Amino acid sequence: MKTHRQSIHEALLLIAAATILGFAYTFVTKQGFFSEKKPAFSAATANLEMISLEKAKELYESQSALFIDARHDFEYKIGHIHGAINIALKEIDTHRVWLENIPKEKMLIVYCDGAECNSSIELALKLMELKFTNVKVFFGGWQEWKANNLPIDKE
């Protein structure tokens, strides 16, 4: 009985210490809940529009959107959606000047390798932070586009 009580005591202690440590660290480093970007993160995630292959194809054919490939450049070079530009998630800072020349209301469709992969969503959130107002994620990504024999480019 004493052992169980001690285990519960230890478990509560670990949870309490983790909670204090987690919130204290994020408070000191101004991250997470204490980040100034947090409201944008939550709101942007909630507002992010995911589009299907059919919708992506329709927008591609209408030439009304700019496709952005969020994968690494070596994957982009192997093959990408025709006309798409490459902005690897970790390299967005090197594209900031170029992005400033794009009208903020321009429709941007971000994709990565497959269905709902992270980098397309994260890049889309970063683009929304840069005040782009019409950002969508094509969640089927490169794999679905290629599997349906839609136009591609190779370098």
* Residues binding another protein (CB under 8 A): 2-3, 5-7, 10-11, 13-15, 17-19, 21-23, 25-26, 31-33, 35, 37-38, 41-42, 45-46, 71-72, 89-90, 112-119, 121-122, 125, 141, 143
- Compare residues 67 and 119 and give the one whose CB is closer to another protein: 119
Closest approach of Cβ 124 to another protein, in Å? 11
Closest approach of Cβ 103 to another protein, in Å? 27
- Compare residues 13 and 61 and give the one whose CB is closer to another protein: 13
- Alpha-carbon distance of 119 to 81, in angstroms, equals 16
- Alpha-carbon distance of 52 to 110, in angstroms, equals 12
- Compare residues 36 and 100 and give the one whose CB is closer to another protein: 36
- Compare residues 55 and 72 and give the one whose CB is closer to another protein: 72
- Compare residues 111 and 132 and give the one whose CB is closer to another protein: 111
Distances (CA, A) of 99 to 68, 104, 131, 149, 153: 11, 9, 11, 30, 22
Closest approach of Cβ 99 to another protein, in Å? 19
Closest approach of Cβ 15 to another protein, in Å? 7
Closest approach of Cβ 13 to another protein, in Å? 8
